[in-house]
Amino acid sequence: MDRDKILLTPGPLTTTLRTKLTMLRDWGSWDSEFNAVTARVRKSLLDIIHGEDSHVVVPLQGSGTFSVEAAVATIVPRDGHVLVLDNGAYCKRAARLTSLMGRRCTVVDFGDHEAVSPAVLDERLKADASVTHVIMIHCETGAGVLNPLQAVSDVCAAHGKGLIVDAMSSFAALPIDARSLRFDALIAASGKCLEGVPGMGFVFIRRAVLDGCAGQSQSLAMDLHDQYTYMEKTGQWRFTPPTHVVVALAEAIAQFEAEGGQPARLARYTANYRALIDGMGRLGFMPFLDPSIQAPIIVTFHAPGDARYDFRRFYEATKARGFILYPGKLTQVETFRVGCIGAIGQVEMEQAVHAVALALRDMGIATGAPAPGRGNA
């Protein structure tokens, strides 16, 4: 196959040729041309969430997890108390990094097959006034659960608690509007639904909150208040920026806007999701989640019940046909995941389903149906 392999993962993603070509030029990190690209990217990001009047955006080198850690360290006081709403692997990561930074952390476990409950959150906040902040993953890609962002935001606002949202795999695809959502911080990254390349995160911070964050972070590199202050003063990054990542993101955003922005991107990803569900269903595969809480971002499927199934062989067989799948993140049930995002459409999803069918044939497996007793969790 002449084309690059299609990445059916939650990131990194398949990118367009235009985005790839943008990275062929070298940039000076202090040069005015590069500074102008950074400024343009920051403005465009704020425009996507309609946050120009209420929030600032602070870019940060590194993966999205770097930015989650930076947001917690910058925004949560050292004597703060964070309540993590846990329904997957990335929620657990958020809880771990919060604890490692010395912030008090309490976890509310919803299981990996249920959405976060605003009613449960409301009761927990009524019962414990010491909580200062709540962390929620918007789309928990461990299984693919879509959590109720607006309802959680409303509960936090009613209790006067700060909300920190990991929107890594939802930003630019699912609706996020700062005019109706109240959050202290919302984190996303370059290599997800904007279809840029990995290497840069960014944090939207409410202006009124940022003003009081000076000196709260115990990290120099991850101090978002310091990063923002320096960038506003000089137009530059404090430390060596990921130049090629930034210019690739600028190009990816231009394509995002030309496509029609968030509504158009969601429509394409939803069509991808439908093509995947329909095609995999014909092969006997069963999704792990109930459709009512499934995000059209990444889908977790039960592994085939056939004793000959082995994920590594299955992975290599689909890879040989040009498609990269993703292993499951669940501990109690054997699964695998297939992403619906990136610079791909229904044709690629249908080709991916065909590659899966051929992989099953290679392994002598007649159906993707799970073992008896397995079904939607």
CB atoms near residue 319 (< 10 Å)? 14
Q: Which residues of 191-225 are buried (b: 16+ CB within 10 A; e: fewer)?
A: bbbbbbbbbbbbbbbbeebbeebeebbeeeebbbb
**Beta strands 55-61 and 200-206: pairing type?**
antiparallel
Decide if 6-10+261-362 and 23-258 have a common fold: no
Place of tokens 């062989």: 313
How many Å apart are CA 307 and CA 152, to the nearest integer? 42
pLDDT at position 169 is: 97
**Beta strands 298-302 and 323-324: pairing type?**
unpaired
pLDDT at position 373 is: 73
DSSP result, 118-164: HHHHHHHHHH-TT--EEEEESEETTTTEEP-HHHHHHHHHHHT-EEE
pLDDT at position 299 is: 97
**Secondary structure (3-state) at 92:** helix
Of the candidates 161, 156, 148, 164, which has an alpha carbon nearest to the alpha carbon of residue 205? 164
Q: Are 84 and 95 contacting, i.e. CB atoms less than 8 angstroms apart?
A: yes
How many Å apart are CA 348 and CA 354, to the nearest integer? 10
pLDDT at position 375 is: 61
What is the rounded (10 degree) CA torsion for 126, 156, 142, 92? -60
Can you read off the two tokens belonging to residue 373? Answer: 């007793």
CATH number of 23-258: 3.40.640.10
CB atoms near residue 234 (< 10 Å)? 11
How many Å apart are CA 8 and CA 23, to the nearest integer? 22
DSSP result, 319-331: HTTTEE-EE---S
The CATH label, of 3.60.20.10, 3.10.129.10, 3.40.50.11540, 3.90.1150.10, for the domain at 6-10+261-362 is 3.90.1150.10
Diameter of the chain by CA atoms?
Answer: 63
Does a cis peptide bond (omega within 30 degrees of 0) precede residue 59?
no
**Beta strands 200-206 and 185-189: pairing type?**
antiparallel
pLDDT at position 302 is: 97
Q: Are 85 and 57 contacting, i.e. CB atoms less than 8 angstroms apart?
A: no
Supply the pTM of this predicted model.
0.96
Domain boundaries, the chain: 6-10+261-362, 23-258
How many Å apart are CA 297 and CA 287, to the nearest integer? 13
Q: What is the CA radius of gyration of the chain?
A: 21
pLDDT at position 1 is: 41
Detail the DSSP E strand segments found in the chain.
6-7, 55-61, 81-86, 104-109, 133-137, 139-140, 145-146, 162-166, 185-189, 200-206, 298-302, 323-324, 326-327, 335-339
Segment (H or E) for 116: none
Can you read off the two tokens belonging to residue 253? Answer: 């955003």
Q: What are the average pLDDT values for consecutive 10-residue runs of the chain, which has 377 residues?
A: 84 96 96 97 98 97 97 98 97 97 97 96 98 98 96 98 98 98 98 98 97 95 98 97 98 98 98 98 97 97 97 97 92 91 98 98 98 69
